[in-house]
């Protein structure tokens, strides 16, 4: 029977009220259940080498954090060259919170990104290609060696989403060192000099360009060589020893774009001496350093002319000191620790909108 107009029977009114009460109760119950489920979190990996900041929001807000604070889990597929290290607090290094690192491969299907060190995975690219991976997961190719010392690059094509290296055009730029601008000028005291030229080298290859250049240079100027098969030099004595020399041979083992290593940053600049560089062209060095902070072998027609210039410069205090004027405003900072480099990867992922692409021809790019 349909009722059109008029008052509803009393029994109908009671049923309507019960229905409203039931619907209200159901809504409240569903809302509470949904809120509770949102609080359930994925369990942390059981990895003593992982680092997870413990800071929490003081407001207790459950709002979605901004992208710069989005929590990320990054898996380090292998320890680089087998060298284990302690993950750092990226908040302290780069003001990048919520970076969680692990070397536990049980997280390979849950991590936001996987960092793979080239020299530790390049031997079996086919096996890497068969590994299962999340559609949203980004694989990061990590390499701090030059192309001359990076075997089997062709096997890395079409595998990775991001590049991470010392090259400035990498997705994630991880230089061996950089210059930090000081907030105000600071005086720099040049260490006392009692010797002429030093060189620390472990990989001694007589046929290499740098060894051949050294052989010519030493005919005209004394050069003290430290390292394997030469004068002994403990690492804790490196800076104290090199600081006594007017010049340091920052000779790279190969010549490639942007390949400017700790030989310049740590051995020369941190020791307070003038680097004499052999590597990429001067123009490339000037992307990283003031032009009057180093001496490039390409500026001289021969090793003999370079030796003559070094001898003249060492006797002219005023001209010698000009190579240190940049230090009033700039400070060299090392960037070679593994912990710092993986933090750079997290910072990039935090601040970059997620998008999918693949590196099609890594071997053609990395030359």
- The domain that contains 155 carries what CATH number? 3.40.50
Domain that holds residue 356: 67-174+338-365
**For residue 231, is it within any domain?**
yes
**For residue 12, is it within any domain?**
no
Give pairs for 357-360: CB < 8 Å, separation 24+.
357/161, 358/158, 358/159, 358/160, 358/161, 359/141, 359/156, 359/157, 359/158, 359/159, 359/160, 359/161, 359/162, 359/163, 360/157, 360/158
The mean per-residue pLDDT over the stretch 83-109 comes to 91
What percentage of residues in the chain have a pLDDT greater than 90? 70
Asked if residue 219 and residue 297 are part of one domain, the reply reads yes
pLDDT at 20: 55
Asked if residue 72 and residue 134 are part of one domain, the reply reads yes
pLDDT at 356: 73
Q: Is 55 a catalytic residue?
A: no
pLDDT of residue 55 exceeding 90, the answer is no
pLDDT at 93: 83
**Catalytic residue (choose from 44, 46, 92, 145):** 145
**Number of C-beta neighbours around residue 9 at 10 A:** 10
The rounded mean pLDDT for the chain is 85
**For residue 56, is it within any domain?**
no
Q: Per the structure block, which two tokens stand in for 87?
A: 């993950």
Helix axes 209-217, 303-315, angle to 10 degrees: 60
Give how many domains the chain has, as a whole number.
Answer: 2
**For residue 327, is it within any domain?**
yes
Asked if residue 193 and residue 148 are part of one domain, the reply reads no
Asked if residue 350 and residue 326 are part of one domain, the reply reads no
**For residue 326, is it within any domain?**
yes
The pLDDT tens digits for 161-189 are 999 999 999 999 999 999 999 999 999 99
Asked if residue 114 and residue 194 are part of one domain, the reply reads no
Asked if residue 214 and residue 323 are part of one domain, the reply reads yes
**For residue 6, is it within any domain?**
no
Asked if residue 229 and residue 323 are part of one domain, the reply reads yes
pLDDT at 272: 97
pLDDT of residue 30 exceeding 70, the answer is no
pLDDT of residue 37 exceeding 80, the answer is no
Asked if residue 145 and residue 121 are part of one domain, the reply reads yes
**For residue 185, is it within any domain?**
yes
Asked if residue 321 and residue 252 are part of one domain, the reply reads yes
What percentage of residues in the chain have a pLDDT greater than 70? 81
pLDDT at 69: 60
Asked if residue 330 and residue 186 are part of one domain, the reply reads yes
**For residue 127, is it within any domain?**
yes
The mean per-residue pLDDT over the stretch 76-84 comes to 95
Asked if residue 356 and residue 328 are part of one domain, the reply reads no
Residue 271: CATH number of its domain: 3.40.50.11660
Asked if residue 303 and residue 184 are part of one domain, the reply reads yes
pLDDT at 17: 54
């Amino acid at each position: 029977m349909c009722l059109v107009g008029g008052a509803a029977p009393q029994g109908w009114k009671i049923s309507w009220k019960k229905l409203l009460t039931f619907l209200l109760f159901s809504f409240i119950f569903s809302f509470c259940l949904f809120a509770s489920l949102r609080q359930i979190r994925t369990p942390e990996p059981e990895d003593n080498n992982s680092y997870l900041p413990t800071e929490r929001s003081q407001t207790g807000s459950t709002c979605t954090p901004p992208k710069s604070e989005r929590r990320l889990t990054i898996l380090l597929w292998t320890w680089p060259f087998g060298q284990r290290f302690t993950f750092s607090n990226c908040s302290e290094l780069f003001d990048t919170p919520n970076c969680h690192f692990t070397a536990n491969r049980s997280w390979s299907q849950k991590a936001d990104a996987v960092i793979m060190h080239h020299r530790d995975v390049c031997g079996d690219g086919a096996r890497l290609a068969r590994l299962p991976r999340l559609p949203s997961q980004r694989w990061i190719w990590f390499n701090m060696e030059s192309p001359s010392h990076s075997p089997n690059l062709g096997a890395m094509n079409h595998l990775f989403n991001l590049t991470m290296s010392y090259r400035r055009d990498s997705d994630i730029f991880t230089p061996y060192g950089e210059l930090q601008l000081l907030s105000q000028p600071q005086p720099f005291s040049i260490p006392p000099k009692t010797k002429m030229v030093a060189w620390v080298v472990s990989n001694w290859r007589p046929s290499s360009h740098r060894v051949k250049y050294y052989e010519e240079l030493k005919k005209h100027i004394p050069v003290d060589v430290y390292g394997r098969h030469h004068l002994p030099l403990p690492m804790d004595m490196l800076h104290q020893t090199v600081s006594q020399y007017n010049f340091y041979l920052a000779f790279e083992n190969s010549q490639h774009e942007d390949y400017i290593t700790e030989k310049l940053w740590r051995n020369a600049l941190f020791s307070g001496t003038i680097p004499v560089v052999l590597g990429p062209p001067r123009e490339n060095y000037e992307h990283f350093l003031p032009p009057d902070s180093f001496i490039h072998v390409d500026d001289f027609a021969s090793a003999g002319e370079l030796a003559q210039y070094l001898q003249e410069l060492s006797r002219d205090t005023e001209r010698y000191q000009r190579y240190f004027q940049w230090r009033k405003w700039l400070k060299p900072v090392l960037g070679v620790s593994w912990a710092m480099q993986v933090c750079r990867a997290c910072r990039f992922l935090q601040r970059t909108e997620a998008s999918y692409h693949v590196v099609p021809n890594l071997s053609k790019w990395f030359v």
